[in-house]
Amino acid sequence: MSRFAAPIAEQIWDMKYRLKEADGTPIDDTVEATWRRIARAMAAVETEPNVWAPKFYAALEDFKFLPAGRITAGAGTGRSVTLFNCFVMGTIPDTMSGIFEHLREAALTMQQGGGIGYDFSTIRPKGATVSGVAADASGPLSFMDVWDAMCRTIMSAGARRGAMMGTMRCDHPDIEDFISAKADAARLRNFNMSVLVTDPFMEAVKADQSWELVFDGKVYRTIEARDLWNKIMRATYDYAEPGVIFIDRINQQNNLSYCEDIAATNPCGEQPLPPYGACLLGSVNLARLVKDPFGDSAALDVEALDELVAVAVRMMDNVVDASRFPLEAQAREAQAKRRIGLGVTGLADALALVGVRYGSEDAARLTGDWMRRIARAAYLTSARLAAEKGPFPLFDKNAYLDSPTMQAMDEDVRAAIAEHGIRNALLTSVAPTGTISLYAGNVSSGIEPVFAHSYTRKVLQKDGSRTEEEVVDYAVALWREMFGDAPLPDHFVSAQTLAPLDHVRMQAAAQQWVDSSISKTINCPEDIAFDDFKDVYLTAYETGCKGCTTYRPNDVTGSVLSVSESAETPAPQDTGSGEVIYMSEPLDRPHSLEGRTYKLKWPGSEHALYITVNDVIHGGHRRPFEIFVNSKNMEHFAWTVALTRMISAVFRRGGDVSFVVEELKAVFDPRGGAWMEGKYIPSILAAIGGVIERHLVETGFIAAEGLGLKSDPTAGVMPLAGNRTCPSCGSFDLQMIEGCATCMSCGQSKCG
């Protein structure tokens, strides 16, 4: 029998985690083969790999321990990819050469599949004097635009776009521009953005005091703290960003406050990291550890939890030694501190299985108990590993034991660390698990509530037909298996019905025993009053959270999908040029295709370019399938090959790909463009874009010149039927979970 609890789980495995040859031939025949691959790779760094590989396999079996996607997809493959999910890059120097050196480092990191975070507070504000140059500074937002453009062109390992976090201190002179940047839905769309909020600022807000905006010791302006706070609140109320990071709390509670300062986080916020800091992630599946589910003695098997955590910590510690790193500075930082981020998934399902309502006081208490148990087991295991393999190199016993985390820890744990040291400086985190939770049978994600008890998933097949299948939450499916059509008990709740402060209560309960941070989205109803919305953030601060991210349906980012037991996917609006067809996976190439070849003679060039666009008939419509650019001029060979491959890949993904035309037409050559047929064309790439546009018009894909999309439709610049479409499959099933837009049709998630 298959180990997969639902068809979507097997599809996620096949699409994202199954090892395959370059031509798509599977190497992992079964999910058991995937588990064996990971177990062997993690055991390879042990002195007795044959002893540990079976133990690691047992932890992975039946989805009890879920390494993050980078590990599951990359471990044991021999590929040049990092197994680390999270990176914060180096401190950006306030010089042009330094800024662009860090841009290069970011590109290298994203090329290997890492999500990155940057603090842009170190760049001088807009209008500041640039010494030695008769010009004013353009400010950090302008450089964020450069980072965003770079990220748009880099495809992460595993065919996933890179994700970035940009932060800025609440006292930076450009903070107001930072806060309002995302009001433009097409700007900085590859960034998550958060304001670094300090304790003095929060005290100034509460006391209604003034607040100085400062850079390099110079006060640029003085404003009212409460006005700035309201601007942050209004922006996230209106378009869901920026988030808020309580940066002083993060640094005060950091186990390593004696040797590092933190000013940024990874893209989803659960990993506050120092410059060049890196962290790997993994989650214990609590839903698989409940004994006697729905019974009178239903409870989490805490002994099994202790054993699973111990094996998981050892596995994750081995990843530090087994992984590649994009940059040597990242490798040194990881080896010096050996951070890991062990978290949970399936919390809401586990609560449902033991009869407790998510968001209640009982649920918060139980969550705190379980997270404390995990932290205790993790720290004890790491102390034993230190006795066996040595503590992390920067371990300072007295300073480490004085940290707030250690002050709260049980005395036997403190004694073990005092005697042996500790192998891993930090051990716990709650990361987004949107994709791996689907892979594990649609368990609830991270510490989030169940988003929907069930929904209908519609998949467009290669022949243009659609199939439907019901996707059921893990706990709901188990209830049905045991009790048939009996109504769900009252303690079954979903994100659609929870009050925002119930979310905060759960985040605060978990944060007490998480030494890093937590990725969590607090879903708010569209009609929540603005003052009530602000109270969510103040409550998060007062109850000990390290950050706060909310999502309220809005006109800029679209609405979260409304879910009901009979919910239907909304249909796209008629764009006037025929139905846009999205595909669940790239189409196979037919043996023959109909196409046209165009000759392009660029002024001043000896040889012409010949551009061939081939089309496919799909869903009754003609659409571009592939492109070839040929020339006798070998000077252009490398970039024309790269261009044809990239554009063809975009064509085959489906959807409205006319944005390719506008992207190419916007490219300018600093050496100058040329006049062609009475028009000024800024570059040869823009000329190629014009040829593609002509073809799309002639074949009826777009109505006329200039009517293509101005940017990639994944930006949500042109929302259809009130909801954004999935960039992978084109469905309207995007949900905002843990700060990430996650597709409930194909499992696509920006966060892994």
Statement: residue 678 has pLDDT above 80? no
Give the range with max mean pLDDT: 161-170, 665-674, 701-710.
161-170
Vertex 520 angle, CA 67 and 437, to 5°: 35
User: Token pair of 136, please?
Assistant: 């004013």
Q: What's residue 1's pLDDT?
A: 54
List pLDDT tens digits, range 436-485.
Answer: 999 999 999 999 999 889 887 766 555 556 677 788 999 999 999 999 99
Position with higher pLDDT, 379 vs 630: 379
Statement: residue 580 has pLDDT above 90? no
At 129, the amino acid letter reads T
pLDDT band at 737 (very low <50, low <70, confident <90, very high): low
Statement: residue 730 has pLDDT above 60? no
Phi first, then psi: give them for residue 582, nearest 5 degrees.
-105, 150
List pLDDT tens digits, range 704-717.
Answer: 777 766 655 543 33
CA pseudo-torsion sign 727, 467, 752, 81? negative
pLDDT band at 156 (very low <50, low <70, confident <90, very high): very low
How big is the chain by its Cα radius of gyration, in Å?
Answer: 26
> Which DSSP letter does residue 288 get?
G
- Range in 216-225, 306-315, 552-561, 656-665 with the lowest mean pLDDT: 552-561
List pLDDT tens digits, range 296-353.
Answer: 999 999 999 999 999 999 999 999 999 999 899 999 999 999 999 999 999 999 999 9
List pLDDT tens digits, range 112-132.
Answer: 767 899 999 999 999 998 876
What are the residues whose beta carbons fall under 8 Å from the beta carbon of 516, sequence distance 6 or more? 270, 271, 272, 279, 339, 341, 426, 428, 429
CA pseudo-torsion sign 230, 236, 242, 245? positive
Could you tell me which of 554, 559, 548, 557 has the C-alpha nearest to residue 232? 548
List pLDDT tens digits, range 508-552.
Answer: 999 999 999 999 999 899 899 999 999 999 999 999 999 999 988
**Rounded distance, CA 681 to CA 38, Å?**
52
Q: What's residue 561's pLDDT?
A: 39
CA pseudo-torsion sign 436, 244, 508, 401? positive
Note the Cα 742 to chain centre separation in Å.
9
Residue by residue, DSSP assigns 642-681 as: HHHHHHHHHHHTBS-TTHHHHHHHT---TT--EEETTEEE
At 267, the amino acid letter reads P
Q: What's residue 266's pLDDT?
A: 93
Q: Is 287 helix (H, G, I), strand (E, B) or coil?
A: helix
Whether omega before 489 lies within 30 degrees of 0, making that bond cis, reads no
Statement: residue 31 has pLDDT above 60? yes
Q: What's residue 601's pLDDT?
A: 86
Percentage of the chain modeled with pLDDT above 70: 84
Tokens 């050469």, residue located: 97
pLDDT band at 579 (very low <50, low <70, confident <90, very high): very low
Residue by residue, DSSP assigns 222-242 as: EEEHHHHHHHHHHHHHHHS--
Averaged confidence pLDDT in the chain = 86
Vertex 271 angle, CA 270 and 277, to 5°: 170
Domain ranges of the chain: 92-253, 594-715
Residue ranges of alpha helices (H) inside 527-590 are 530-542
What are the residues whose beta carbons fall under 8 Å from the beta carbon of 538, sequence distance 6 or more? none
Of 86, 151, 268, 729, the active-site residue reads 268
What are the residues whose beta carbons fall under 8 Å from the beta carbon of 688, sequence distance 6 or more? 600, 609, 611, 629, 643, 664
Q: What's residue 453's pLDDT?
A: 93
Q: What's residue 115's pLDDT?
A: 81
Q: What's residue 667's pLDDT?
A: 78
The H-or-E segment that residue 214 falls in is strand 210-215
**Rounded distance, CA 490 to CA 493, Å?**
7
Q: Is 630 helix (H, G, I), strand (E, B) or coil?
A: strand
Of 270, 333, 626, 693, the active-site residue reads 270
Q: Is 541 helix (H, G, I), strand (E, B) or coil?
A: helix
**Rounded distance, CA 162 to CA 115, Å?**
6
pLDDT band at 749 (very low <50, low <70, confident <90, very high): low
Vertex 660 angle, CA 655 and 665, to 5°: 155
**Rounded distance, CA 225 to CA 227, Å?**
5
List pLDDT tens digits, range 595-643.
Answer: 889 998 888 777 788 899 998 876 667 888 889 888 777 666 777 778 8
Of 254, 266, 285, 318, the active-site residue reads 266
Q: What's residue 459's pLDDT?
A: 60
Whether 266 is a known active-site residue: answer: yes
Statement: residue 699 has pLDDT above 90? no
pLDDT band at 721 (very low <50, low <70, confident <90, very high): very low
What are the residues whose beta carbons fall under 8 Å from the beta carbon of 95, sequence distance 6 or more? none
Q: What's residue 706's pLDDT?
A: 72
Contact 737, 445 (CB under 8 A): yes
**Rounded distance, CA 422 to CA 438, Å?**
34
- Range in 58-72, 128-142, 281-295, 566-580 with the lowest mean pLDDT: 566-580
User: Token pair of 13, please?
Assistant: 């495995």
List pLDDT tens digits, range 409-433.
Answer: 999 999 999 999 999 999 999 998 9
**Rounded distance, CA 181 to CA 190, Å?**
13
pLDDT band at 568 (very low <50, low <70, confident <90, very high): very low
